[in-house]
Amino acid sequence: MSTIEDAKNQLGELFIIGFNGFELSDDTSAFLSQAKIGGVILFAANYDNPAQVTELIRQAQESRSGLPLWIAVDHEGGKVQRFRKGFTQIPSAETIGKANSPKLTFQISEIMATELRAVGVNLNFCPVADIWTNPKNTVLNTRTYGQTEDHVSKMVTAMVRGHVIQKVQPCIKHFPGHGDTFVDSHFVLPKVNTPIDVLQNRELKPFYKALRSHCSCVMTAHILNPTIDPDFPATLSKKTIQNLLKQQNRASPIIISDDLEMKAITDNYGLADASRLALEAGCDILIYKTEATARKAYDALLKSLEDNKLDPGIVIEAAKHVRTFKQSTLMPYEPPAMTELSTKIGIEEYKKVIEQLASEVRKQMSKI
């Protein structure tokens, strides 16, 4: 098999895709199997109740032979919690941060990860490691743990530890920091002009500390910082990913793009070019919210390989990195057990921890 054929055969491992519905359709199952897709991301539209999503995840895992799929979700708490009915309602990062208690943050993280693992989720795009440095940033304000690098670092590392202990991989986001922006990258491309020395001493600290606390996954931001790279946002920027992330950390984290369907990317760079650029920049995994777009990106990258526009070695190396990490974290694979849902999800013990957090927030607020 040629190097190009090797890369084409391994390309799907670099994809995490969304899809429609409470059940896995035959078409989606076939795509996961035939393209050897690496993982799926679930949204509120995929969720009705714990038993239903457990069965959905079982169906997804059965579509893939070999190493398990990543089963990913955005489960931050507050307004970003895809699974609600039956699950413990997790407070926002802003609320958790106000309690100023790493111990409670760790306990809440364990609750989150325990419930997710019970239904079969193994990758959570959480915690948000951004610092809310811009009061006019209403996109991330309630999703961040605070306004200083030390406070955010303290909360983020506690959140990371709870997930790791409960065997759900946390993914810190949005590197190199989204807290100083004014606009939402779902719709437009945010731009910041934060100097690198300021980034090193402020925005990047929570990310670096989380990586030293055994966080192994980082999600990139669709933001343009001309002081780092005048041409490309972080997700597509070699200068950002190589210089600020890979070379600054002894560990070799799995680098995951934010959703490449966001208009910040598609309106400025196009789907095909952006997908190729993200891999060339150093992303190991690409996220696509919808299956239709994922299929287009997959076909475009196959063509890029065939036309010698994408170095097959990049694909092969990234796939090896992802498979090695899966082997160390997802094996041996243990399917979720329906019989355990009632003892691990939404139990009273968890609610008491949430109440304790609310009490601590009131106590902290009374000191102001």
Residue boundaries of the structural domains of the chain? 3-366
Q: Which residues of 119-137 are buried (b: 16+ CB within 10 A; e: fewer)?
A: bbbbbbbbbbbbbbbbeeb
The pLDDT value recorded for residue 182 is 58
* Cβ count near 285 (within 10 Å): 27
Sequence letter at residue 316:
I
Answer whether 192's CB lies under 8 Å from 225's CB. Answer: yes
Per-residue confidence (pLDDT) for residue 306, from 0 to 100: 98
| Residue 298 pLDDT | 99
Question: CA 337 to CA 335: how far, in whole Å?
Answer: 6
The C-alpha atoms of residue 131 and residue 173 are separated, in whole angstroms, by: 11
Determine the Cα–Cα distance for residues 76 and 43; give it in Å rounded to an integer.
13
| CATH of range 3-366; options 3.10.20.30, 3.20.20.300, 3.30.930.10, 3.40.50.720 | 3.20.20.300
Q: 194-249 pLDDT, tens per residue?
A: 999 999 999 999 999 999 999 999 999 999 999 999 999 999 999 999 999 988 77
Spatial distance between the Cα atoms of 90 and 81, rounded to a whole number of angstroms: 8
367 CB neighbour count, 10 Å cutoff: 6
* Residue in 276, 181, 260, 169 with CA at minimum distance from that of residue 218: 169
Active site (catalytic) residues: 186, 258
The answer to whether the CB of 149 falls within 8 A of the CB of 205 is: yes
Question: So what's the pLDDT on residue 185?
Answer: 66
Strands 39-42, 15-17: pairing is: parallel
Closest by CA to 104, choosing from 155, 141, 172, 150, is: 155
pLDDT tens string 135-173: 777 778 899 999 999 999 999 999 999 999 999 999 999
Give the residues of the chain that fall short of pLDDT 50: none
